[in-house]
């Protein structure tokens, strides 16, 4: 595996740590900026919306640059956003900072994944994407807790300074470890880049990714209240359980990466089916600690870990260039927004188990978008009768 793949994973780790940091420091940010906790929650939404809507726009603006040049420019924008956050004296400034970092992070994912495709042979591309996506899994497992610890002990501004320092380290590693490739020779004009989106198959493939992530985040977003108020775990135990969930995502990501190239569609079908089972089991058995924990870890193994297979399928339906990859990342972000927002709505009407049932329903819809492709692949080829 080229060294540059591991360097790109470090960049993703920095971006994801920044994405999640607000969730870990909501009370401190509310006190420091003189606003309410719900208003701080809107910063999370703003970051996600900026990723989904702004990331593709920035990617288009960088299309003609060499990949390494584009990545270095994105690091600079990302660093500027974190410095702005660390020095923010008001809510408006913090909101702008979160939008800037969100747009830069999304474009980085798209260009980084496209560069991964350029650097690796097709038969190992899924495994390489899994290595890059380990930055996302480790951001959940280590980045969020570490940023939270820094913020709680040294203040919330220190957490953003620390993320800025991490971005500088990742940028220097990129400067040294990523080859200076020319801009992709198979790229076309902006109109030609958009032409790939006329294919209905690509839109169906993108919708599958949204449903996979939506199913997972409808549950993940509310693990803490479910585990404490329904399952009965002590509040001090829940962070350890979430670390175990993060470890499960790392393991699942490695396994899916090994299988994604040769068994893309079967892996997605199996992952969605298992996620449906785990989500439904969690909903039914949420009041029993042992089964609930097993179900939660199962969701970790087969939820966001589908990323390597999702990316491989999207690239085959479209192409491996930055715009397709960034738009795919936007559909993934849409899944986060969909799952977390709808999960909150169903809690208000049906209680804390409802997001788990919602996730099971979204996983079932995801299966419907991918099963036809699996059945087509398994259908026997028509027999051609010889002419008399």
pTM tops 0.85, yes or no: no
C-alpha dihedral (323, 329, 335, 338), degrees to nearest 10: -70
Provide the pLDDT for residue 388: 43
Q: What is the CATH number of domain 1-177?
A: 1.20.1250.20
Element (H, E) at 330: helix 322-350
pLDDT, tens digit, for every residue of 39-78?
887 888 888 889 888 888 888 888 888 889 999 999 999 9
- Portions of the chain given CATH number 1.20.1250.20: 1-177, 197-375
User: Are 50 and 102 a contacting pair, CB within 8 Å?
Assistant: yes
Q: In the structure, what pLDDT confidence band is assigned to residue 379 with cuts at 50, 70 and 90?
A: low
Mean pLDDT score, 216-239: 86
Q: Does 192 score more than 80 pLDDT?
A: no
Q: How does pLDDT run across 156-190, given as a tens digit for each residue? A: 999 999 999 999 999 999 999 888 876 655 555 56
Q: Which helix (H) or strand (E) covers residue 385, if one does?
A: none
Averaged pLDDT for residues 300-322: 90
Q: Which of 2-16, 256-270, 316-330 has the weakest average pLDDT? A: 316-330
Is pLDDT above 70 for 380? no
The C-alpha atoms of residue 131 and residue 250 are separated, in whole angstroms, by: 10
**Domain 197-375 is classified in which CATH homologous superfamily?**
MFS general substrate transporter like domains (1.20.1250.20)
Q: What is the mean pLDDT of the chain?
A: 87
Closest CA to 222 of 332, 22, 358, 334: 358
Task: Please say whether the beta carbons of 318 and 197 come within 8 A.
Answer: yes
Tell me how long the chain is.
388
pLDDT tops 80 at residue 368 = yes
Q: Is the pLDDT of residue 344 over 90?
A: no
Q: What is the pLDDT confidence band of residue 84, given thresholds at 50, 70 and 90?
A: very high
């Amino acid at each position: 595996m080229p060294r540059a793949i591991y360097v790109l994973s470090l960049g993703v780790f920095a971006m994801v740590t920044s994405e999640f940091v607000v969730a870990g420091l909501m009370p401190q940010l509310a006190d420091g900026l003189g606003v309410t906790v719900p208003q701080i929650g809107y910063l999370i939404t703003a970051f996600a919306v900026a990723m989904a809507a702004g990331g593709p726009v920035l990617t288009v603006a960088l299309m003609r640059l060499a990949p390494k040049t584009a990545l270095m420019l994105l690091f600079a924008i990302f660093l500027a956003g974190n410095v702005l956050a660390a020095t923010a004296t008001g809510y408006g400034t913090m909101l702008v900072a979160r939008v800037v970092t969100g747009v830069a992070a999304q474009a980085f994912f798209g260009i980084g994944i496209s560069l991964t495709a350029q650097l690796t042979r097709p038969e190992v591309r899924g495994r390489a994407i899994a290595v890059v996506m380990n930055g996302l899994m480790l951001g959940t497992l280590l980045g969020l807790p570490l940023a939270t610890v820094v913020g709680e002990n040294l203040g919330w501004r220190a957490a953003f300074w620390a993320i800025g320092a991490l971005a500088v380290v990742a940028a220097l590693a990129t400067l040294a470890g990523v080859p200076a490739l020319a801009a992709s020779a198979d790229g076309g004009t902006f109109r030609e880049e958009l032409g790939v989106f006329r294919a209905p198959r690509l839109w169906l493939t993108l919708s599958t990714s949204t449903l996979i992530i939506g199913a997972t985040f409808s549950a993940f977003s509310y693990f803490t209240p479910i585990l404490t108020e329904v399952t009965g775990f002590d509040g001090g135990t829940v962070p350890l359980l979430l670390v175990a969930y993060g470890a499960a995502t790392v393991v699942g990501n490695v396994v899916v990466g090994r299988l994604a190239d040769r068994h893309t569609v079967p892996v997605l079908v199996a992952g969605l089916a298992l996620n449906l089972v785990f989500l439904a089991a969690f909903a039914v058995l949420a009041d029993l600690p042992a089964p609930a924990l097993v179900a939660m870890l199962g969701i970790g193994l087969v939820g966001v870990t589908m990323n390597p297979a999702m990316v491989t399928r999207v690239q085959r339906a479209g192409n491996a260039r930055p715009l397709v990859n960034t738009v795919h990342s936007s559909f993934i972000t849409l899944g986060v927004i969909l799952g977390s927002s709808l999960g909150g709505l169903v809690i208000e009407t049906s209680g804390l188990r409802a997001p788990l049932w919602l996730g099971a329903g979204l996983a079932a819809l995801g299966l419907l978008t991918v099963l036809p492709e699996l059945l087509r692949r398994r259908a026997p080829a028509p027999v051609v009768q010889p002419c008399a």
